[in-house]
A and B are shown apart, each in its own frame.
Chain A
Amino acid sequence: MTTIGTGWRKALGWAVLALLVLITLFPFYWMLRVSLSDNRALAADADSLLPAGLTLGAFERVLGLASLEEARAQGGSGASIDFGRFLLNSVLTSTLITAGQVLFSSMAAYAFARLRWPGRDAVFFVFLTALMIPPIFTALPNFVLMRDLKLLNTYAAIVLPFFFMTPFAVFFMRQFMLGISREVEEAARIDGAGHPRIFFRIILPMSRAPLATLALLAYVTAWNEYFWPLLVGQGEGVRVLTVALGVFRSQTPQGSPDWAGLMAATLLAALPVIALFAAFGRRIVDSIQFSGIK
């Protein structure tokens, strides 16, 4: 094999990789481009790379800052929408889910990884089988439960099924806690520390890195969840961003969709995740690589 041959090969490889990165990133740019455009200008100028008729009108419209007349004049559907509210709902429910799930799953992981009790591994196995159950399998009875508890269209209904645990979270934390050396615990026990103290003062601080990773993954998953909030959280007061986007899309007229508004709302839903990714991308990459090969 000649050096010129490998050089060409490398260049070709890089070109393919660059093309794929471009295809990966272009839709994000396009979301921004359309959201900063004016609907009428868009119709005349669908393929310019820059925003058509640069304006922040779409963002004002979806955040409920523009009057209904203004909104209609800009090609909005005329329905009153307030993505600020939906954004708040998403932040609230995702935060609650993450806080509960990370704490309670870690506690369970502690029982599975650091305590000795009869039946431990059998119980853990039963927990794990839940990984195999498709969400729709439990969604029907869970919906009935929420209805019977009169919780439909409340934050509680959106949050509860994910609040106490997910099989993945328990599994993930257990894997880490199995690796902590026993000596640390023994030393604390000799000093007279009980299990709650050992858990909160020693194990949790030592698990900072995996806890942060799990919190990140839990938050993004909760933020992106569509199916469950669609079932129990359609009401405008508790509607989260994903559900709101679906409603917005179905309300937009077939003939002349409010593309600028739709893309502005879409961008609002994507931005927090993009920000988290910019801050913690490396951690996310490493954790997926790690949990994937386990």
Chain B
Amino acid sequence: MTAARRGDLRVALLFLLPAGFGFVLFYAWPALQTFYLSFTDYSLLAAPNWVGAQNYRDALGDARFGNALLVTVEYVVINIGVQTVVALLVAVLMHRLTKSSFVRGLLLLPYLIANVVVALVWYNMLDAQLGIVNAVLSWVGIDPVAFFGETSTAIPTIALVNVWRHLGYTALLIFAGLQAIPRSVYEAAAIDGASEWRIFRGVTLPLLRPVLAMVLVLTVVGSFQIFDTVAVTTRGGPVDATRVIYFYIYEKAFQQFDFGYAAALSVVLFAILAGLAVAQLRLLRAGSSDLD
């Protein structure tokens, strides 16, 4: 190794010192600890005892954890399904009609607002007695709906509220992907006399696939971690209707102080997210575009 290289190494370590300290102390070490704690009965109050895979066996037989998984999947399917379709529509509309970053900016605004704020505003607007949405529904003769208060509507409601927050963001990412498609491709299709729908199905969508894959991985992984909205509105209820995984783990850890079990559930959640990301990238063959 040359002296110059060693010199760079010493400087590099100095420059990395603060970030490295933060990385080890608040990311790497705690991540390893969570793995370790998941094999213990740690309860915050007493020192941890090794219990082997007991927490994982408990999780398998935990009906409420099963329910939490189901509820979360229902949330993700509604949230991501509606969001992706509408965002795709918005992105295509913006691409065809206006390049104005003002319009893109307006649609992005909700994404910058805190989840908690968004949740409370919609909690007011969707209130069964005084909410404006129910007032509008009553004008067309629909009885008031307790959006957050009924087991059948609570999860779809929370899912759609968060579609409102993330729509502009998702549309913006897809829009960026659309701009990367060369004009000549469209012109060729137009000369062939293809209809708008044919062009969309045959040209836009296939060429957009790598971008869609990335967007889906990003949004699905984020969607699985739904917590804030639930925590300030339904708190898991009614009954267990909105007790999503993140909230369930939070309750186990910080209300029942069952840290060992909560750690095991976190590991399971992490495994699910990692598996999903890999599977999605495979399925959508993210690396290759039909442009190549």
Choose among A266, A284, A288 the residue that contacts B120 (Cβ–Cβ < 8 A). A266
Chain-B contact segment, one of A58-66, A80-88, A140-148: A140-148
In the complex, how many angstroms separate the beta carbon of B36 from the nearest chain A beta carbon? 9
> How many A residues touch the partner, as a band?
35 or more
> Does B184 sit within 8 A of A, measured CB to CB?
no
In the complex, how many angstroms separate the beta carbon of A42 from the nearest chain B beta carbon? 6
Contact A242 B116, beta carbon cutoff 8 Å: yes
> Does B164 sit within 8 A of A, measured CB to CB?
yes
Contact B93 A133, beta carbon cutoff 8 Å: no
Instruction: Kindly list the 7 A-B residue pairs having the minimum CB-CB distance in the complex, ordered from nearest.
Output: A164-B22, A47-B135, A108-B19, A141-B30, A224-B114, A165-B19, A141-B33
Chain A residue at minimal CB-CB distance from B195: A1
Chain A residues in 8 Å Cβ range of B93: 13, 16-17
Contact B121 A266, beta carbon cutoff 8 Å: yes
A and B contact pairs by CB, cutoff 8 A, 6 listed: A24-B110, A111-B16, A140-B266, A164-B19, A263-B120, A292-B176
**How many residues of B are counted as interface, with CB atoms below 8 angstroms from the partner's CB atoms?**
102
Contact B273 A134, beta carbon cutoff 8 Å: yes
Contact B106 A21, beta carbon cutoff 8 Å: yes
In the complex, how many angstroms separate the beta carbon of B193 from the nearest chain A beta carbon? 9
The docked-state distance in angstroms from the alpha carbon of A100 to that of B19 is 10
Q: Tell whether A220 pairs with B26 under 8 Å between CB atoms, given A134-B273, A137-B270, A259-B130.
A: no
Contact B112 A226, beta carbon cutoff 8 Å: no
In the complex, how many angstroms separate the beta carbon of B279 from the nearest chain A beta carbon? 14
Contact A161 B26, beta carbon cutoff 8 Å: yes
> Does B5 sit within 8 A of A, measured CB to CB?
yes
> Does B20 sit within 8 A of A, measured CB to CB?
yes
> Does B124 sit within 8 A of A, measured CB to CB?
yes
The docked-state distance in angstroms from the alpha carbon of A224 to that of B215 is 22
Choose among A34, A117, A126, A223 the residue that contacts B9 (Cβ–Cβ < 8 A). A117
Scan residues 69-111 of chain B and give those whose CB is less than 8 A from a CB of chain A: 86, 89-90, 93-94, 96-98, 101, 103-110
Contact A120 B12, beta carbon cutoff 8 Å: yes
> Does B53 sit within 8 A of A, measured CB to CB?
no
The docked-state distance in angstroms from the alpha carbon of A24 to that of B170 is 14
Choose among A24, A115, A284, A286 the residue that contacts B107 (Cβ–Cβ < 8 A). A24
Chain-B contact segment, one of A180-188, A206-214, A269-277: A269-277
The docked-state distance in angstroms from the alpha carbon of A82 to that of B135 is 32
Contact A226 B116, beta carbon cutoff 8 Å: yes
The docked-state distance in angstroms from the alpha carbon of A141 to that of B36 is 10
Chain B residues in 8 Å Cβ range of A281: 101, 105, 108
Chain A residues in 8 Å Cβ range of B146: none
Choose among A21, A25, A118 the residue that contacts B5 (Cβ–Cβ < 8 A). A118
Chain-A contact segment, one of B56-64, B150-158, B245-253, B280-288: B245-253
Chain B residue at minimal CB-CB distance from A195: B11
